[in-house]
């Protein structure tokens, strides 16, 4: 006789949510991301994106943080196929992060010009304790696990370029 494990998973997800462990609750299937240092959850990678974009800070005169990045190899953004916007702001007393990914397409009449294609988003909230939970996503858990490390790499590359050009100063420990 074969038994179903579904009730056990539901209990684990509810317990994780009650204890504040967002990665199991928000990313129900527990997608893991392979990194050079081992495996981490998708929620951990999204949290690191949040931390590193927040360190870049807001532009002068803005009360929110918004930075743009491109996915792809090399430093030249001209030929990269995915445009990313990360927005961090407080909404109704809760800090939220929205990651918008726009897939760029070549114009049929002039392939050197790229225009916006499909736009998808990932929306998260960050509690006062620093726990990240997924609010809404146009991506599946597996897609987030594949995409999040690339987004983090793009954030780090831009931060490195900004530091190299003196546009931002590294925070002192």
Note whether residue 172 is domain-resident: no
What does pTM read for this prediction? 0.74
Closest CA to 168 of 58, 28, 36: 58
Asked if residue 103 lies in contact with residue 84, where contact means CB atoms within 8 angstroms, the answer is no
pLDDT for 116: 92
Note down pLDDT in tens along the chain; length 173 residues. 444 443 333 333 333 333 333 333 344 445 555 445 556 789 999 999 999 999 999 999 999 999 999 987 766 777 788 999 999 999 999 999 999 999 999 899 998 888 999 999 999 999 999 999 999 999 999 999 999 999 999 999 989 988 888 877 655 44
Tens of pLDDT, residues 22-49: 333 344 445 555 445 556 789 999 999 9
pLDDT for 12: 31
User: Could you tell me the residue range of the domain that residue 64 belongs to?
Assistant: 8-164
Note whether residue 35 is domain-resident: yes
pLDDT for 14: 31
Beta bridge partners of 68: 85
End-to-end, the C-alpha distance of the chain in Å comes to: 59
CB count within 10 Å of CB 164 equals 9
pLDDT for 165: 86
Note whether residue 171 is domain-resident: no
Q: In what helix (H) or strand (E) does residue 91 lie, and over which residues does it extend?
A: strand 82-91
CB count within 10 Å of CB 114 equals 18
Residue with tokens 């579904």: 6
pLDDT for 169: 63
Note whether residue 45 is domain-resident: yes
Q: Please state, rounded to an integer, the average pLDDT across all residues of the chain.
A: 79
10-17 — which CB contacts under 8 Å span 24+ positions? none
pLDDT for 81: 87
b/e burial code for range 116-125 (CB count within 10 A of at least 16 → b):
eeeeebbebb
Note whether residue 3 is domain-resident: no
Domains: count for the chain: 1
């Amino acid at each position: 006789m074969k038994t179903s494990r579904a009730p056990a998973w539901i209990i684990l997800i509810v317990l994780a949510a009650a204890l504040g462990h967002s990665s199991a609750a928000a990313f129900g299937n527990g997608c893991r991301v392979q990194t050079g240092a081992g495996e981490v959850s998708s929620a951990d990678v999204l949290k690191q994106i949040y931390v590193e974009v927040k360190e870049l800070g807001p532009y002068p005169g803005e009360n929110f943080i918004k930075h743009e990045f491109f996915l792809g190899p090399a430093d030249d953004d001209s030929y990269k196929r995915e445009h990313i916007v990360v927005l961090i702001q407080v909404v109704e007393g809760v800090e939220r992060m929205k990651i918008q990914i726009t897939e760029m397409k070549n114009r049929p009449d002039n392939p050197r010009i790229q225009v916006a294609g499909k736009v998808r988003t990932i929306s998260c909230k960050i509690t006062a304790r620093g726990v990240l939970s997924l609010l809404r996503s146009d991506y599946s858990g597996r897609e987030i696990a594949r995409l999040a490390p690339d987004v983090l790499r793009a954030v780090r590359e831009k931060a490195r370029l900004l530091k190299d050009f003196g546009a931002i100063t590294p925070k002192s420990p």
